[in-house]
Chains A and B, each alone.
Chain A
Amino acid sequence: MGKEITIAFAGNPNSGKTTIFNRITGAHQHVGNYPGVTVDIKEGKRNIDGLPVKFIDLPGTYSLTALSEEELVSRNFIVESKPDVVIDVLDASTLERQLYLAVQLIELGVPLVLAFNMTDVAEKAGFKFDIPLLSDLLGIPIVQTTATSGKGLAELLQTALSVARQKIEHEPKPLVYGKELDTEIDRIVTRLSSTEVNPYIDLPLKWSAIKLLENDSEVVSDFMNTGGDVGELFDAVEGSRQRLARIYSDPADMLIAEARYGIISGAASEAVTRTVEERHNFSDRLDKVLINPFVGMPIFLVLMYLVFWLTFTIGDPLMGWLETGFAWLGGTVNGWFGEGSESPIRSLLVDGIIGGVGGVIVFLPNIMLLFISIAVLEDTGYMARAAFIMDRLMHKIGLHGKSFIPMLIGFGCSVPAIMGTRILENKRDRLVTILIIPLMSCGARLPIYALIIPAFFPSHLQGPMLWTIYVIGIILAVVLAKLLRTTIFKGESSPFVMELPPYRTPTIQGLLIHAWDRGRMYLKKAGTIILAISILLWWATAYPKLQIYSDDYDSQLETLRIDYETELMDVNLELGLPDGFDNIKIALDKWIEDDRSELTTTNSLLADRFLETVIEIDEIRIGFDRAVDEQGLIENTPDFITVKYVFESRLTELEESKPDYFPIAENYLDNILSPYLAQSSEIEFKIYEENLNYSIMGRFGRFLEPVFRPMGYDWKLVTATLGALAAKEVFVAQLGIVFSVGEADSASSSLRQKLMDNYSPLIGFCIMLFSLISAPCVATLVVTRSETRSWGWALFQFFGLTVLAWILTTLVYQVGTFFGIGV
């Protein structure tokens, strides 16, 4: 067996490298129709003819100078790791520009194969290539491919392997740069061959000569760092530059660039023909509208709104199903343990795991939809246009349009967004963008809003409320960017240069892969970090157990129950049933336990009639409450009165049809059942509060409570906030735990209801505000550290945002309380 073969994919951004890479390795890397999707080196492996082959997907680059991070990453990889063969993937429909990189790869002297990708597009545009001639002119094998359909990929792989195994001689034709340049390059090569110092022993001397002549910063410093005597060499290079300057007005690096394009157009004029010359294709026509200064912006805003609208209107019913599913699961598991079980395993399973992890998983549909929407923007090519439109605005805050792409991705997740800032060439632009990205409210914060908003705001305000939160994030990001740009990061931003790719129809498969990819990551997070933290938090919330309560709650509950049963006996008498007839009590207990859904029959007709009436009254009342809630009706408005009238007339109808039972049933509901339930849940709540207070989390939360108090937080919210540091979704999970531990019917009554009972809308808003701005999650912290290569910036971001969050939320809470808004 020979050694492992390494094949690297290089090429211009957006030429289809990742698509080919995925096709060949069977991987699911992210592709997208804008330049700069892949910013990192990705690896894939596959056995071919029994031999392991390693594939490397490099970030796209326009050249191999030391201009931007990606260019350096790609160049250094090729120079240092010496892949056995490099496949340069070119978009054949814009061949001449794409060959600029190919020429530089030829200069590097790496074994090379050219993949003329997007042949389908090139053919439609009327290009004809004389492949054998072109291949001969450059001395490099060329294979035509269409990555999206897989055409030509087998041949590409075979050719690459043959080159790697040296079955095909690799001998590129020497490139001709023109008489004067060639003379000077030769001179430097001669000088190089007679000197000991050369940091690039494995590379052609001609490459070093060209780079020195270009004055490439990396190469020059590598030469200096050898520690050898480079004085003479540098003098020789300087001499060459001066001789060239006497003949041409452009500097040497420009001359070399011009010469490269000269070589390309020479080859192209011989081997490429174009049958139809099309002006104004589809993309041009679409751009007339989409990047128009007047209509472009409104269209952009509508599209953004659509993204979020879709995420919720389609996501919410799906979420409802999952919620029902988990409630059922919780109920079932509860059932295994029997009535009012105190088993810690029950509590761990139901409160800790199902309550915690389940509370997070229910948001999966929303998150996947958000990612699908972002993927559509990416794959169609609209993302680059959005950057174009936003450039005008971004300029005002000292950034440019390209910063906008990572910011938009930040609505999905900060981690890929921060990595995506690599498309920014300028270090200051990059740092500012990284620092403000967490203010783009990410998908993981969505569960928090989705929990809070419906709990505190009537339905007609829910959409605008969500919108407000996102907009607050954006405004803060803008202000912060401006602030950073005029203080710590003063200075010019790099000029805006960005290719606008042609519009493409996204493939369903591509979108699904993308969504599933994200969904899987989310599930994985839920199954690992969030699961672990949920268990930890559950434990800290449930233990240690309180042994002696401040009051004898058990006997209080017992007294209540006895009173209730006595009053039920009175009902028996009123109905004319015998004293000691227990069936009504049993049926009602069962009905209440089953969430008021089903009724068992007693074996008395009288009793059944009575029970039916009770339930009918209850249903009408619940129907009324629901209608008010769903339509967001406000008391005493005409709409409210109309609805109220409808339901009241139903009650009257019922009273008329069952005059014997109605008064007794109404009396039972209002004067017997309601007070009993209210009083007993009050006592249960006291028990649960005392337990929580005594637990580790309770103590810890109360210890920190003074810090959070000014924002209106109680210690329960404090514990949830601490949990959210690990991952924002944990906030929801922990609230679920805090409000369910110690209760028997945990999974059934909704968390929202409990929040409503405990907090004011003002606090609800403060929770969202603080979650939006405060400390990004640990994953973000880590990726910021790795992208900025400094813990300093990562911690600056972490604490800076947290302090900002505290100040703003405190301000809102205090002002709100003072003026009595939402309290």
Chain B
Amino acid sequence: MLLTDTPIEIPLIVTAVNAGRTAQARLASMGILPGEKLMVLRNDINGPLVLEVKGTRVAIGRGLCQKVMVSPGNEESKE
């Protein structure tokens, strides 16, 4: 499912990042890439989302978040 559609404060796992090359690399450098865990801390009606990734808090624009696919993290994750 889309990162923007998930409830907040539940563990998630990134399954795909369907953004352009630069954006992908940028997200990867912040620790957001397939197989990594994260959590949404804030998701308001509009404006950027706040994610918790690897112990840091990162604000990411909504548009970019819509390109990130996730699945619930406590389920058996694909590896």
**Is A689 in contact with chain B by the CB < 8 A criterion?**
no
Please state if B50 and A500 are interface contacts (CB–CB under 8 Å).
Answer: yes
Contact flags B14-33 to A (C-beta < 8 A → 1, else 0): 00110101111111111101
Interface SS of B by simple majority: mixed
Contact B30 A497 (CB under 8 A): yes
Chain A neighbourhood of B7, CB < 8 A: none
Nearest CB in chain B to that of A215: its residue: B21
Among the 9-residue stretches A252-260, A559-567, A769-777, the one with 4 or more Cβ atoms under 8 Å from chain B is: A252-260
Among candidates B21, B23, B55, residue contacting A94 with C-beta atoms closer than 8 Å:
B55
Q: How far, in Å, is A269 (CB) from chain B's closest CB?
A: 13
Bound complex: CA A112 to CA B70 (Å): 36
A residues 369-396 with Cβ under 8 Å of B?
384, 387-388, 391-392
Chain B residues with Cβ below 8 Å from A291 are: 42, 50
Contact status A97-B33, CB under 8 Å? no
Kindly report which residue of chain A lies nearest to residue B20, judged by CB atoms: A495
Contacts of B57 in A (CB 8 A): 283-284, 287, 499-502
How far is it, in angstroms, between the C-alpha of A820 and the C-alpha of B58 when the chains are bound? 54
Chain B residues near A97 (CB-CB < 8 A)? 30-31, 53-56
A388: which B residues are within 8 A, CB to CB?
47-48, 50, 59
- The answer to the question of A433 belonging to the interface, with a C-beta cut-off of 8 Å to chain B, is no
Complex contact A496–B59 (CB within 8 A): yes
Would you call A32 an interface residue if the criterion is a C-beta within 8 Å of the partner chain's C-beta atoms?
A: no
Query: Would you call A93 an interface residue if the criterion is a C-beta within 8 Å of the partner chain's C-beta atoms?
Result: yes
Interface residues of B in 35-68 (CB under 8 A from A): 35-36, 41-42, 44-48, 50, 53-61, 63-64
Q: Are B64 and A496 in contact (CB under 8 A)?
A: yes
When distances are taken between beta carbons in the complex, the residues of chain A under 8 Å from B72 are none
A268 nearest in chain B by CB position? B54
List, in ascending order, chain A residues with CB within 8 A of B50's CB. Answer: 287, 291, 388, 500
Q: Give chain A residues whose Cβ lies under 8 Å from the Cβ of B29.
A: 62-63, 65, 67, 100-101, 257
Give every chain B residue within 8 A of A501 (Cβ-Cβ).
57
Residues of B within 8 A of A257 (CB): 25, 28-29, 33
CA distance A499 to B31 in the complex (A): 11
Nearest CB of chain B from residue A22's CB, rounded to whole Å: 24
A102, B61: Cα distance in complex, Å: 27
Is the pair B64, A100 in contact by a Cβ cutoff of 8 Å?
no
Report the separation of the CA atoms of residues A215 and B45 in the bound assembly, to the nearest whole angstrom: 37
Is A498 located at the chain interface by the 8 A CB criterion? Answer: yes
A391-B47, A495-B63 are known; give 4 further A-B pairs, CB within 8 A.
A96-B31, A250-B34, A258-B33, A391-B48
Q: Using a CB–CB distance below 8 Å, which chain A residues touch chain B?
A: 62-63, 65, 67, 93-97, 100-101, 125, 215, 249-251, 253-254, 257-258, 261, 283-284, 287, 291, 293, 384, 387-388, 391-392, 400-401, 425, 494-502
7 CB contacts below 8 A, A to B, read A250-B34, A251-B21, A253-B24, A293-B45, A401-B59, A494-B22, A495-B63
